[in-house]
A and B are shown apart, each in its own frame.
Chain A
Amino acid sequence: DAGVIQSPRHEVTEMGQEVTLRCKPISGHDYLFWYRQTMMRGLELLIYFNNNVPIDDSGMPEDRFSAKMPNASFSTLKIQPSEPRDSAVYFCASGPLAGGGTDTQYFGPGTRLTVL
């Protein structure tokens, strides 16, 4: 299996621009997670889906952030408009139901976002 695939790997944008991060989970996994990691705040769960349905989005910072999962093999995290404080590494992870779902997660390589 190719593992979790994220794109782009690096994104540099200017404040106010829209940013879209993409994720392809491991085939057959029922759960998909979006995380943000910074030195100051550590690893933060933003939102997660089970069978394409959002379960917990309490970690989404504000209305500028939105996430969708239109099908089992694709998800997006969108920031509009972006701000410098959104600069971070964004990870997507997926997990199998058989492995506990939310307890066994496989992370993608991450997208390093820099907002100028």
Chain B
Amino acid sequence: GQSLEQPSEVTAVEGAIVQINCTYQTSGFYGLSWYQQHDGGAPTFLSYNALDGLEETGRFSSFLSRSDSYGYLLLQELQMKDSASYFCAVRWDDKIIFGKGTRLHILP
């Protein structure tokens, strides 16, 4: 079946760069999305890659490679407020699939 795999947790230092990977076992999907969710809050949309390559939005960048069944979210100049869970998601046919989320811990 279709599934998205993400690391459950990642730890990084304030000011550093961190990459959160998302791998998938499906094909024919319509691109890769990323969402951020703080504790007690709702998911918020971060980025969407319709095509292979890198999309940049401020400190956040997202990358997609369909041939490698792989994508990632890159966060630069980490701030304490970036501590949150990050979800990747794809639309496959009429289905929408979310990964289980990656909990990002940031150390001062």
Contacts and interface: CB of A to CB of B under 8 A. Distances in A.
A74 to B, nearest CB: 19
Interface of B: 30-31, 33, 35, 41-45, 48, 50, 87, 91, 94-98, 100-101
A45 B50 CA distance: 21
Interface string A49-84: 000000110100000000000000000000000000
Contact of A100 (B41, B50, B87): B50
A93 B41 CA distance: 13
Tell me the interface secondary structure of chain A in the complex.
Answer: strand
Interface of A: 33, 42-45, 48, 55-56, 58, 91, 93, 99-100, 102-110
A47 B87 CA distance: 19
Contact of A109 (B30, B31, B35, B42): B42
A33 B97 CA distance: 12
A109 B100 CA distance: 20
Contact of B91 (A58, A91, A102): A102
Contacts of A42: 98, 100-101
A91 B42 CA distance: 8
A43 B33 contact: no
